[in-house]
Amino acid sequence: MPLRSLLRPDLDDLEEYTPVKPYDVLAAEIGLPVELLVKLDANENPYGPHPAVREAAARAPLHIYPDPGQLRLRRAIAAYANVEPDQVVAGTGADDLIDIIIRLVAPPAVVIPTPAFGMYRFLANIMRARPVEVPRRPNFDLDVVAIRHAVQDSGARLLFLTHPNNPTGNPLNLSELEALLALDAIVVVDEAYIEFGGQTVVPLIASHPNLVVLRTFSKWAGLAGLRVGYSISTSELAAHMMRIKQPYNVNAAAEAAAIAAIEHRAEIAEHIAAIVAERDRLARSLAGFGWIEPYPSVANFVLAAVRGLSARDLTAALRSRGILVRFYDRPDLRNCIRISAGLPSDTDRLLNALTELSQ
Ligand SMILES: Cc1ncc(COP(=O)(O)O)c(C=O)c1O
């Protein structure tokens, strides 16, 4: 019997997630030394983890399984987020929580306002939940009426919102969120970038038991490589999520590092402030070129429309100089690039290259 016939046929046409690649792989592809790369394509934290966080990860007990109940980690996150520990579920990055929620609800469809983070669509497809995409308005605000219809017509029971949104950088409008929380659906608000701007919606959980907030240590704490994120919800919903997660989903090093990051958050805040300042300088400088139009962003990246030139060619020209940005060209995002806020020297390299390419 051919192996193929034993597998799920509906995955034949699965639209794969486009992941970013690490430094060494990229350097080899481009043919430049790793030190010359300016990696502004994945919204990573250019400062990396705090030294005490590295030490905590190095000291973690690697020969025993981590705590499936995540007691210490949930307690630390709860204190950081100002909630109770039983409202928190930690996972292998926020991605893991997205997966857990889709598996818990197992809806026939999920509603996703677009442009959006691609993982919602990817994981929904794998779970046989039809992604119903609802285009945002030209300024990337939500189309609340269209979302409401999409949820009602598709029987979605699950809606993904992102605050601030990736890749557009704009925050959620809180009155629009409240309108959507009235739907008969679990509403996920993904706050992966909230430490860089926007006001958290966590306080709304008390009055809206269908709200789940997602967060991550990948961005503010510089731990993208360790994979640790979490959700905040009612304790009831969190208990359901805890029951179906992989028991040892957060590894020992990630657990120790996340707790240490919370302990050292005051020092890490200095790097967050530097990234925010760099984002604003980047946006101002891009606008100065005249042919690049940055959209307002409160996250750690800037989306920009490229005028009079192919954004694909621009991305390739930057790449050949060792500068990596993310390129988009799709119906809801024409001829755009997304640039992560990096070190001041990264911005300088990018701006010099753009100046060169303007001539
Ligand atoms: C909106 C959003 N949510 C979640 C994630 C993934 O976070 P994690 O690294 O914790 O899986 C990302 C990563 O880029 C993101 O942009």
Domains along the chain with CATH numbers: 3-48+266-358 (3.90.1150.10), 51-264 (3.40.640.10)
| Overall pTM > 0.95 | yes
The C-alpha R_g of the chain, in whole angstroms, comes to 21
pLDDT 10s digits, 321-334: 999 999 998 888 99
**Is 166 close to ligand 1, i.e. is its CB under 6 Å away?**
yes
Predicted local confidence at residue 23, as pLDDT:
84
Predicted local confidence at residue 151, as pLDDT:
98
Choosing from 95, 188, 298, 300 the residue with most ligand 1 atoms within 8 A of its CB, the one to mutate for a pocket test is 95
- Looking up tokens 């958290």 gives 200
Q: What is the DSSP string of 61-102?
A: --SS---TT-HHHHHHHHHHHTS-GGGEEEESHHHHHHHHHH
Choosing from 40, 98, 100, 117 the residue with most ligand 1 atoms within 8 A of its CB, the one to mutate for a pocket test is 117
Choosing from 219, 228, 301, 303 the residue with most ligand 1 atoms within 8 A of its CB, the one to mutate for a pocket test is 219
**Is 190 close to ligand 1, i.e. is its CB under 6 Å away?**
yes
Pairing of strands 186-190, 158-162: parallel
Shortest-distance atom of ligand 1 to CA 216: 10
**Is 45 close to ligand 1, i.e. is its CB under 6 Å away?**
no
Predicted local confidence at residue 4, as pLDDT:
87
The two tokens of residue 227 are 């994979």
**Is 120 close to ligand 1, i.e. is its CB under 6 Å away?**
no
Consecutive sets of 10 residues in the chain, 359 residues long: mean pLDDT of each?
A: 89 85 88 92 96 98 97 98 98 98 98 97 96 96 98 96 98 96 98 97 98 98 98 98 98 98 98 98 97 97 96 96 94 94 97 93
In DSSP terms, 265 is beta-bridged to none
Shortest-distance atom of ligand 1 to CA 43: 14
List Cβ neighbours of 221 (8 Å cut-off, separation of 6 or more): 45, 49, 50, 53, 257, 258, 261, 268
Q: For 21, phi and psi rounded to 5 degrees?
A: -110, 155
Predicted local confidence at residue 359, as pLDDT:
79
Predicted local confidence at residue 61, as pLDDT:
96
Predicted local confidence at residue 16, as pLDDT:
83
**Is 41 close to ligand 1, i.e. is its CB under 6 Å away?**
no
Predicted local confidence at residue 332, as pLDDT:
86
Question: Which residue's CA lies nearest to atom 7 of ligand 1?
Answer: 94
214: part of which helix (H) or strand (E)? Answer: strand 211-216
CA max distance for the chain: 63
